[in-house]
Every structure is written in C-alpha cells, then in structure tokens.
Structure 1
C-alpha cells in the first residue's frame, strides 16, 4: 500500500479507503498488540503515518475507549470518594434496589479481603452485623490469624456474634482464632482492666499490635446507630454528645472535624486502641446506610481509615458533604 494513503493533513478527504486503513491500523495496535514499527513495516507506512492514523481513528470515533471496573463497583463514585478524602481506595457498589444494598456491600468487601489479606497476616474483625455479613460472604482466605477487635453487645449463643465470625474466618483459612468473650463496654476502668487480663481476652489483645488488616463499621452518635451509644445511660450519651461525639468506630468517638475524643469511655471499653488502629497496615471501614453519612464523614476526616466500602447513597451524601466542607490538606 502506498504511503500516501496514510497522509493525514487537515485538507485530506476522509473516505472509505482511509477509514478502512485507520481501522486496520487501530485493530493491529489495540487488539493485536503490534508495535507502531511493526505495523508500519507490514503496511508500507512510516511510524509517523501510523501515529497519525491512530489519532484520527480516536478523533473520528473508529476507536472508542470504554473503562469498566466491573458490575459490582461504581468507578466514578469510588474515584470521587477516594480523591475527596485522600483515601488509599474507596469501593462503592452501584445504585440498585434498597433490599440488595446490604448483600452487595458485604460481597464487595469480602472480595476485597480475598484480594488484600496475605499469608501470615493478622486479620482483625470488629463486632457489627455488617462485618459479620462480610464473613458470611467469604469463601476462602490465605492462612492468617483472626482476632476479634472489640467486645460485643450480644448474647454469646446468637448466630451473629462476633466470636462466630472470628471462628468462621479462621476455619476458612486454617489459621488461629482469637475471640473476645466479653462485653464491649464495662462499668468502670477497673472492670475493663480485669477483663483485658483474662487469659482468653489477653491473647486477643496481644494481637492488636500486630494487625495487618482491620475491618470495622462506623456508628453514628444517636439511638439505633451505635452499639456504644445504646448501652450507655441517657446522661452519659448527652455528656459525650456535648463533647462533640459524632461518629464511633470500635469504641473510639470522633467529632465532626475528625478529632478522636479523649474521654473516660476509652478506659471502659474492651477494644483495640487508637494507636494500634493507626499502626495497622490497612483499616477497612464498611457502611451501607446513608443516614450515617455525617458520622462516616467524621471518621474519614480522622485519618483512621485507609479504605471505605460503601453503598451509592452514602457515597453521594459524602460527596455532598465534602463539596460543602472540603477535607483540609486533601
């Protein structure tokens, strides 16, 4: 073929012959993976003619680029959240029927854990129905240790207990399980210290400093949206609310600006501490309720979380919040 067929000056006609040539060049380059040099040699063109034909194929619509991260991930919302909060990653499930949201968020988080948890890691699981649902969707894991990150406000024989989730995850990977058979909140500091020193609990607490991946959910400081909030007296709730408590994560209270509050409550809980959580390689937060968006916003501003897995409704609410009040330094 003559090299002049590949000329692409601005006044050249874009006819069927040149259109077909551009399509052939594009197919060889994008689909077959040939280099421009190889294409030029086989078609009797120069490298510059090949490059111009590729440009023309894109500009004229012969080549259309479609980027699809998969049906379980909303790429635009995920990228927007990651950028807005400076996260390592954000994974957002696409919009869909409300009844399917909990399952899809849990399934996406389970897929993430299968991808990111490594052999020999210490995987920490907080107590929450969301985290427990994630474990229900796990089908395999590399061999690792699985530790419960906090006590639970549930009856030990209930199926959704955190110890059950820890044992299930450990059974999947063939690793050791370190459950915590204790309440999340104790009446006073001495009681919490005594519980932490009990042999079984102490074994779990000792793994907090070795955390590779921690999986947590976010609570909002109002009735029905935080286990910690709901087990306190009305006076304690009001006092902590007056201190600015907005979000809660494994017993840590965070205000709207992302500051972790220093309160006596921290001495009453059996849970991983702030320093241990910040030292973890990966902290994955889960949310599937737009009503908690303000609390999630607070927790994300704290820098405690590396990865967020969320539903589209919560993602949209978070993007609105950051548009109104951008995260400093991001």
Structure 2
C-alpha cells in the first residue's frame, strides 16, 4: 500500500482492523511500520489492535501447560486431591491487589478450556470473580448456561452478584440465569415463602442443573465480604468462629475440614448449599493472598474444588499450613 495517510473513523473499519492485526501478529511488523504501510498514525494502529481484541479477532494468551506442570501445581494436586492446579507468579509479596488481578486473569484464560457443550456453570460473586469476568477475553462455548449461585445483596465494591454472572455469560456467549431475590431475608418464614414464588422457585431449580461452579474462598473475619455486604454481623462471625467456622463459601460457613457449620443464617439465605457444591463435576476455586490461606485450605479440605488457580506465594503457604 502507499504511504498516503488515511483519515480513520474513531473505531476504524473492520477491514483495516483485520489488516493491522494481520501485519502485527502474523507478519511481525511493529506499530510504526504498520502506520506507514496503512497511511495512518501510530496511535490509530494502537486503537485498531485494541479494537481487534475487543471484537474477539485477537486473542492473546500464554499456554496453560507451564502453569499446570509447575512443581507447586503438582504438590497442590497431591496434597488436596485436585485434578489440576494453575499457579502463576505473584507480582510481589507486598502487592496483593496486582497479584489478585493476575490470578483472576489466569483463571479467565483457563476457564473456557474447562467447559464443554451443554454445561451449566454456577458462579459465585466477589472481587476476584468480578475481575475474572471483566478481564476475560470473549470465548464462546456452545450451549452453556451461567447461573448465579447466591442471591443479591448490598455491596461496597461497586458491582453486584448479578453483574458477575451476567458478564461471564456474555464472555462465554451463554445463557444467564440470575437469582432475583436477596441473599438473606429478615426471617426464616419470609425466606421460605420467597423460595416458593414461581419465579424464584424456577431460578433455584436451575441450581440443581449446575454441574460445574466457579467461586472464591471467603475469610471468616469481620473484614469478610459477608459482613461488608450485610449478610452477617460481627456478632454472627464471632459465633460461627467460636463453633469452628474458618471459611465462607457462597455465603455459608465451613470449618477447617470443610464441613458445613449450620447456624441461624442458613434458614434465611437464598442460594446454593455446601452439600450441593460437593456433588458437582467440577469446582474451580480462584483465590490468593495471605488472608485467604486459612479459608482456601478449609474449602480444599472439604473437597469443594477439583481445580485451583492461585499464585506461588499463596501456594507455598497452603502447602506449609499444618
């Protein structure tokens, strides 16, 4: 092509986006060379490449095998009876946020490979799951459904449980089934009545169709998301903790061996139970950080996860935990 400069539209035509992507990824030209070839500015080339990613034309990912065959991955498999563990390097021992984003990105890259046609994927909520869905490249899976595992709740994080499941369904080009009910009601009677409402009953029935699940491990402290979201109070946490609770799994409490710790909140909650989660074909646990070692160990001991994504610092802490 000539070096005559074009006047691109803000998003660029599909043809020029494809051409820029081809030159960059298949012919190895740098952005300046592409700009000269196409007769546009270097900034336009950057925009074309970004648009190619957003349209799903460009998918950039590392091979999974090095992260699954890492010695820490194999040790985690043996220790906790996992089918696979994906371990990424931590950004730094002191930057938990950057490491969380890296772990979430890795899980989003790996997730489509763990799904098959016709699967029903139950999705929990929380910052890790939200970041996973946000950072995931579009990767359609045929005839997949995404189901919200817990009801809705007030959130201090700027996103909702519904957004986590809806965004993930969008990335997978799947059907989304949300729970149009609060995660917790004020009385057991009100919760029982709401479960019988036809719409909620049908949505809860969809939980029974789940064969796979995506979730994080919540800490059993006053800083837990269940406290910040208004599901449990500090007194509730103290009570559950005194009775052995060490982790929060989809709003429910489990002890160090992963056994469900029943309590007053259970009858008021709308969502999946720990017992149901143990019956799934696949459970993908995505968590990291020093505050998550104890809850992750509890969830892993309980057999809720068949697959794990974490970082190498957290992995070593899990393996060293008594």
Aligned-partner Cα distance in 2 for 1:271–1:258: 18
Unaligned runs of 5+ in 2: 1-62
CA-to-partner distance for each residue in 1:68-115, whole Å, 9 max, x for gaps? 965666712111111111112211111323243122111111122110
- Contact 1:73/1:94, CA 8 A, preserved across alignment: no
Unaligned runs of 5+ in 1: 1-67, 325-330
**Superposition deviation, residue 244 in structure 1:** 0.9
Q: Which secondary structure does the structure 1 equivalent of 2:278 belong to?
A: helix
CA-to-partner distance for each residue in 1:166-210, whole Å, 9 max, x for gaps? 222323344321112333222221222233333443332111111
**Superposition deviation, residue 126 in structure 1:** 0.5
CA-to-partner distance for each residue in 1:137-166, whole Å, 9 max, x for gaps? 22113031111000133359x862121222
Alignment partner for residue 112 of structure 1, among 85, 110, 113?
110
Aligned-partner Cα distance in 2 for 1:241–1:89: 30
- Contact 2:150/2:179, CA 8 A, preserved across alignment: yes
Q: Which secondary structure does the structure 2 equivalent of 1:160 belong to?
A: coil
CA-to-partner distance for each residue in 1:111-136, whole Å, 9 max, x for gaps? 22110111111011112111111111
- Contact 2:153/2:229, CA 8 A, preserved across alignment: no
- Contact 2:122/2:212, CA 8 A, preserved across alignment: yes
- Aligned residue number for residue 86 of structure 1: 81
Aligned-partner Cα distance in 2 for 1:270–1:255: 21
Per the normalisation by structure 1, the TM-score is 0.70
Q: What is the aligned length?
A: 254
| Structure 2 residue 194 is matched with structure 1 residue 195 | yes
- Contact 1:122/1:145, CA 8 A, preserved across alignment: yes
Superposition pairs of residues 1-330 of structure 1, within 5 angstroms: 75-97=70-92, 98=95, 99-138=97-136, 139-143=138-142, 144-154=144-154, 160-227=159-226, 231=230, 232-321=232-321, 324=322
Q: Which secondary structure does the structure 1 equivalent of 2:286 belong to?
A: strand
CA-to-partner distance for each residue in 1:37-75, whole Å, 9 max, x for gaps? xxxxxxxxxxxxxxxxxxxxxxxxxxxxxxx96566671
* Distance of aligned partners of 1:137 and 1:71 in 2 relative to their CA distance in 1, 3 Å threshold: farther
* Distance of aligned partners of 1:142 and 1:179 in 2 relative to their CA distance in 1, 3 Å threshold: same
Aligned-partner Cα distance in 1 for 2:129–2:171: 16
Larger deviation, residues 111-120 vs 251-260: 251-260
**Superposition deviation, residue 247 in structure 1:** 0.7
- Contact 1:288/1:311, CA 8 A, preserved across alignment: yes
Q: Which secondary structure does the structure 2 equivalent of 1:206 belong to?
A: helix
- Contact 1:224/1:230, CA 8 A, preserved across alignment: no
CA-to-partner distance for each residue in 1:196-255, whole Å, 9 max, x for gaps? 333443332111111121011111110223415863233322221211111110122111
Per the normalisation by structure 2, the TM-score is 0.72
- Root mean square deviation, CA, Å: 2.4
Aligned-partner Cα distance in 2 for 1:96–1:90: 18
Aligned-partner Cα distance in 2 for 1:237–1:216: 20
Aligned-partner Cα distance in 2 for 1:197–1:228: 27
Aligned-partner Cα distance in 2 for 1:155–1:274: 22
- Contact 1:259/1:302, CA 8 A, preserved across alignment: yes
Aligned-partner Cα distance in 1 for 2:320–2:172: 40
